[in-house]
């Protein structure tokens, strides 16, 4: 679960991420780590917790595993926006398209965006995003736009092995710079009239 609060005019942008492995809270803008209190709770016990989180956040980004199960379908149906993370590999593109297709069938009617991971070159990321957008528009009526890529960077698996946040341990690496750029592009997407109560009733219903 990643929660984010948009920056105020003239203020610093902050995109805090909750790390399941460590229970730590990383603020990208300030690159500092602080404790989360209370600890992360299981999804099946977290209905009230999620509703409380919503009251103080402009965004709640829920990181789903690859594939598309019943829980992912319900989350997709409740979401205002989907952010599909794919790679230039054909198998990953096929799975990403299948995810969008199943999200549509589950009732998703919002906007969709794409991030291309493990991109060795910018043009590889752009080509991958164009292919995804072309197929999604033709067959699903969706026009996902590319909001960025994450460079193929040895620091990423290194941070994963160390079980630490990449942007905290390696803030100056290429992949961290890409993540900060994606965060900057996400910030203006905050809805001007946030339907918090309606949205969180939908999300909370998933855990009944």
Paired strand residues for 116: 86, 149
Bridging pattern class, strands 111-119 and 145-151: parallel
The alpha carbons of the chain give a radius of gyration, in whole angstroms, of 17
Q: Are 42 and 203 in contact (CB under 8 A)?
A: no
For residue 180, CA distances in Å to 6, 29, 176, 193 come to: 14, 8, 6, 25
Domain hosting 169: range is: 2-189
Which pTM was predicted?
Answer: 0.70
Q: Which tokens go with 25?
A: 């809270």
Long-range contacts of 65-69 (CB under 8 A, 24+ apart): 66/95, 67/95, 68/98, 68/99, 68/102, 68/103
Write down the pLDDT at residue 124.
93
Task: Map tokens 């993540």 to a residue.
Answer: 179
Task: Assess if residue 194 is contained within a domain.
Answer: no
Write down the pLDDT at residue 46.
53
Q: Which tokens go with 73?
A: 């379908």
Closest CA to 95 of 57, 128, 51, 54: 128
Q: What is the CATH number of the domain that holds 140?
A: 3.40.50.300
Task: Assess if residue 201 is contained within a domain.
Answer: no
Task: Return d(Cα 79, Cα 96) in angstroms, integer.
Answer: 17
Domain count along the chain: 1
Task: Return d(Cα 41, Cα 51) in angstroms, integer.
Answer: 13
Task: Assess if residue 206 is contained within a domain.
Answer: no
Task: Return d(Cα 59, Cα 192) in angstroms, integer.
Answer: 12
Write down the pLDDT at residue 51.
62
Write down the pLDDT at residue 79.
83
Task: Assess if residue 199 is contained within a domain.
Answer: no
Task: Assess if residue 198 is contained within a domain.
Answer: no
Paired strand residues for 18: 25
Write down the pLDDT at residue 65.
76
Task: Assess if residue 101 is contained within a domain.
Answer: yes
Q: Are 78 and 199 in contact (CB under 8 A)?
A: yes
Write down the pLDDT at residue 109.
87
Write down the pLDDT at residue 7.
39
Distance of CA 145 to the CA centre of its chain: 14
Task: Assess if residue 197 is contained within a domain.
Answer: no
Per-residue pLDDT of the chain (208 residues; tens, 9 = 90+): 333 444 334 443 333 333 333 333 433 333 333 333 444 445 554 556 666 666 666 677 778 877 788 878 888 887 888 999 999 999 999 999 999 999 999 888 888 999 999 999 999 999 999 999 999 999 999 999 999 999 999 999 999 999 999 999 999 999 999 999 998 888 777 554 445 555 556 666 655 5
């Amino acid at each position: 679960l990643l929660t984010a609060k948009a920056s105020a005019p003239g203020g610093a942008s902050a995109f805090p991420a909750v790390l399941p492995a460590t229970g730590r809270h990383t603020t990208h803008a300030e690159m500092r780590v602080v404790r989360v209190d209370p600890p992360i709770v299981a999804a099946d016990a977290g209905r009230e917790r999620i509703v409380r989180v919503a009251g103080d956040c402009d965004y709640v980004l829920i990181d789903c595993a690859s594939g598309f199960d019943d829980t992912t379908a319900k989350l997709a149906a409740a979401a205002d926006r989907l952010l599909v993370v794919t790679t230039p590999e054909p198998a990953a593109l096929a799975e990403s398209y299948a995810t969008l297709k199943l999200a549509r069938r589950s009732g998703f009617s919002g906007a969709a965006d794409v991030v291309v991971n493990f991109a060795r070159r910018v043009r590889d990321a752009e080509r991958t995003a164009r292919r995804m957008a072309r197929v999604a528009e033709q067959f699903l009526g969706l026009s996902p736009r590319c909001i960025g890529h994450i460079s193929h960077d040895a620091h990423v698996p290194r941070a994963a092995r160390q079980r630490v946040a990449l942007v905290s341990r390696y803030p100056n690496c290429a992949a961290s710079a890409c993540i900060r750029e994606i965060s900057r592009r996400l910030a203006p997407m905050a809805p001007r009239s946030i339907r918090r109560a309606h949205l969180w009733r939908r999300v909370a219903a998933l855990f009944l």
